[in-house]
């Protein structure tokens, strides 16, 4: 631990450096400077300790995370993608009861992320895509029926931009049919459905601490579960397949390999920064929610407002952890939407598509023939054609910036009716 004099000295250095750091080229970036002085000091302490991986600070973060989220176990990894990888490979592991087998099918929404999908395919499982709900961009549980579930052995839900479909209903279906459920909550840390945190309804919940996510450690992720069997599987898979550190370890050797494995271990540096950020999750959520409402209100109160946009509101059961504002442009085609996004980027407002868009349009989906029946997913396609999102800062947004955002976003009318000849 640093003493008071050392802490004061380092804070002085950090303050001087922060004034010299390069300012973003964006007036309104997708994410702002994420690290506080306390976060940086936490990282410095780890570096000075020379304990760089898998020491007490990582265990402390895992313990605090599980306690907060309401799960029995939490395991930190080096990214949200790695969290999905562990959850996926746990489902086919020989140590798991009723494990899945090569060729088994899983259900996944047509708007998804690459590394929510591919680990399961890499396990030898077959994807079955389902459309999303137009009101929240997540898996549409109303489309789940006996015909769809006939061969389904696992379901993957993706809580896009902190939101959720009726995860309780999906969870109930999975339990009734003995179907495994993975919740990808990489964008939804802190979000709740029926006062229960997203990620805790399934067999596994996965989270990301990437730079633009609800909290960040630069890179990093977490997997949660409630079964001891599942925890021991992902624990050994995380680090080479050995049992070192497990309470059930034989302790005959530090190199006792009980399973297959990867190297997905996090650094203590990221654990220390993540834990420091985690303590401020609630305050950051509140500021983002307030900024979201300010931006939407400013636009709707503009003299130029003419229902150019649709902003979805979560249903009464969902309390989102917003970190961006998803926006649908009414009355625009895909080409003109892309032109408008470029216009916003050039004018200092950073934009991004909503996740992958309709994933079946991605080159990799075509390369691996993931949609052999050429099925259509109308809602996913509409969101890809008309949707984008902008960021939400963790500091209170100024009136000057609000006015600028509103002015530029109201320029969408210049792009809605462009005709190419």
Q: What is the per-residue DSSP string for 93-162?
A: -TTSTT---TT-EEEEESB--HHHHHHHHHTT-EEEEEPBPTTTSSB-GGG--HHHHTTEEEEEEE-GGG
Confirm whether 213 is a catalytic residue: yes
238/262 Cα distance (integer angstroms): 6
Helix (H, G, I), strand (E, B) or coil at 406: helix
> What whole-number distance in Å separates Cα of residue 277 and Cα of residue 273?
6
Catalytic residue selected from 28, 159, 213, 240: 213
The helix-helix angle for 334-346 and 378-386 (nearest 10°) equals 40
Q: How many residues in the chain?
A: 421
How many other C-beta atoms can be found within 10 angstroms of the C-beta atom of residue 147?
A: 6
Go through 360-377 and write b for each residue having 16 or more CB atoms within 10 A of its CB, e for each that does not: bebeebeeeebbeeeeeb
DSSP track, 145-205: -HHHHTTEEEEEEE-GGG--S-HHHHHHHHHHTT-EEEEE-TT-TT-EETTEETTSSSSEE
β-bridge mates for residue 391, sequence order: 324
Q: Helices 80-91 and 114-122, interaxial angle, to 10°?
A: 30
- Bridge partners of 205, per DSSP, are 183, 224
| Nearest CA among 324, 319, 322, 310 for reference residue 379 | 310
d(CA 74, CA 87): 12
* Cβ–Cβ under 8 Å, residues 327 and 191: no
What is the rounded CA–CA span in Å between residue 194 and residue 199?
13
Catalytic machinery residues: 213
């Amino acid at each position: 631990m640093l003493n008071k004099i050392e802490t004061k000295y380092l804070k002085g250095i950090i303050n001087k450096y922060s004034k010299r750091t390069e300012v973003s080229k964006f007036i309104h970036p997708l994410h702002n400077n994420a690290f506080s002085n306390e976060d940086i000091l936490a990282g410095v302490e780890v570096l000075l300790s020379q304990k760089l991986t898998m020491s007490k600070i990582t265990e402390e973060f895992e313990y605090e995370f599980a306690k907060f989220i309401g799960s029995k176990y939490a395991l930190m990894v080096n990214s949200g993608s790695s969290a999905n990888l562990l959850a996926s490979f746990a489902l086919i592991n020989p140590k798991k009861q009723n494990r899945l087998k090569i060729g088994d099918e899983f259900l996944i929404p047509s708007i998804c992320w690459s590394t929510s999908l591919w680990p399961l395919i890499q396990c030898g499982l077959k994807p079955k895509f389902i459309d999303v709900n137009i009101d929240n961009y997540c898996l549409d549980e109303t489309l789940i029926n006996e015909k769809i579930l006939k061969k389904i052995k696992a379901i993957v839900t993706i809580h896009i931009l902190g939101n959720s479909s009726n995860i309780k209903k999906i969870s109930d279906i999975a339990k009734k049919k003995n179907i495994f459920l993975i919740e990808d909550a990489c964008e939804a840390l802190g979000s709740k459905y029926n006062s229960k945190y997203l990620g805790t309804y399934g067999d596994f919940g996965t989270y990301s601490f990437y730079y633009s996510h609800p909290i960040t450690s630069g890179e990093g992720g977490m997997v949660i579960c409630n079964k001891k069997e599942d925890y021991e599987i992902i624990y050994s898979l995380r680090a080479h397949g050995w049992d070192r550190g497990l309470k059930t370890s034989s302790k005959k050797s530090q190199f006792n390999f009980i399973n297959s494995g990867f190297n997905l271990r996090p650094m203590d540096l990221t654990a220390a920064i993540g834990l420091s950020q985690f303590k401020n999750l609630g305050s950051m959520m509140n500021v983002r929610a307030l900024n979201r409402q300010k931006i939407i209100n400013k636009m709707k109160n503009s003299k130029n407002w003419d229902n150019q946009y649709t902003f979805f509101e979560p249903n009464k059961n969902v309390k989102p952890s917003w970190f961006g504002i998803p926006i649908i442009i009414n009355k625009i085609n895909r080409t003109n939407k892309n032109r408008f996004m470029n216009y916003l980027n050039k004018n200092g407002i950073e934009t991004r598509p909503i996740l992958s868009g309709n994933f079946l349009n991605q080159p990799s989906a075509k390369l691996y023939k993931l949609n052999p029946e050429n099925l259509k997913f109308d809602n996913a396609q509409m969101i890809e054609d008309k949707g984008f999102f902008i960021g939400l800062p963790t500091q209170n947004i100024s009136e000057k910036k609000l006015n600028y955002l509103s002015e530029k976003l109201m320029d969408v009318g210049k792009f809605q009716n462009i005709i190419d000849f």
